[in-house]
Structure 1
Amino acid sequence: MILRTKILLIVEFLGIFVAIPLALVLGPQIVPPMPILWLAAAYGLIALYRDPNYRRSELWNPGPLRRQLSSMLLLFAMGIAVIGALVYEFAHPVLFSFVRAHPIVWALVMVLYPVLSVYPQGILFRAFLLHRYRNLFGAPPQKEKALILLSAFSFSLMHVVFRNWVAVALTFAGGVLFARRHLATRSLFVSSFEHALYGCFIFTVGLGQYFFAKLV
Structure 2
Amino acid sequence: MNIKRIYFSTPFKVSELLVFFGLAPYFTGIYLEGWKKIIPLIFIAVFFFILLFRFTNFNHAIFFRFDPVYFRKSLPRLISITFLMIFFTGWVFPDLFFEYPVEESQKYLITFFLYPIASVVPQEFIYRVYFFERYRNLLPSKYLLMFANAIIFGLTHLIYDNWVAPIATFLASWIFIFNYFKSESFLNVCLEHSFYGFVMFTVGLGHFFK
Shift of residue 82, structure 1, vs aligned partner: 1.6
Which residue of the other structure, out of 41, 64, 72, is the alignment partner of 2:45? 41
Counterpart CA distance in 2 for 1:28 and 1:88 is: 32
Secondary structure of the 1:196 match is helix
Shift of residue 113, structure 1, vs aligned partner: 0.8
Q: Which residue of 2 aligns with 1:29?
A: 32
Q: Which residue of 2 aligns with 1:133?
A: 135
Q: Which residue of 1 aligns with 2:101?
A: 99
Aligned residues of 1:164 and 1:210 also touching (Cα < 8 A)? yes
Counterpart CA distance in 1 for 2:83 and 2:175 is: 17
Counterpart CA distance in 2 for 1:67 and 1:147 is: 26
Counterpart CA distance in 2 for 1:202 and 1:30 is: 20
Q: Number of aligned residue pairs: give it.
A: 204
TM-score, normalised via structure 2 length: 0.90
What stretches of structure 1 move > 4 A for 4+ residues in a row? none
Map residues 151-162 of structure 1 onto 2, 5 A cutoff.
Answer: 151-162=149-160
Shift of residue 30, structure 1, vs aligned partner: 6.8
Counterpart CA distance in 2 for 1:81 and 1:133 is: 35
Counterpart CA distance in 1 for 2:53 and 2:207 is: 35
Q: Which letter does structure 1 place at the counterpart of 2:180?
A: H
Identity of aligned residues (%): 25
Structure 2 residue ranges without an equivalent (≥5): none
Q: Which letter does structure 1 place at the counterpart of 2:188?
A: V
Q: Which letter does structure 2 place at the counterpart of 1:23?
A: F
Q: Deviations over 1:141-178 (max 9, x none)?
A: x32x1222222222212211100010111111111110
Change over 3 Å in CA distance of 1:51–1:67 after alignment to 2:
farther
Structure 1 residue ranges without an equivalent (≥5): none
Q: Deviations over 1:8-30 (max 9, x none)?
A: 111110111011122233x4437
TM-score, normalised via structure 1 length: 0.88
Aligned residues of 1:59 and 1:127 also touching (Cα < 8 A)? no
Change over 3 Å in CA distance of 1:113–1:183 after alignment to 2:
same
Q: Deviations over 1:32-80 (max 9, x none)?
A: 2111001110111112112333111212322x1x111223221111112
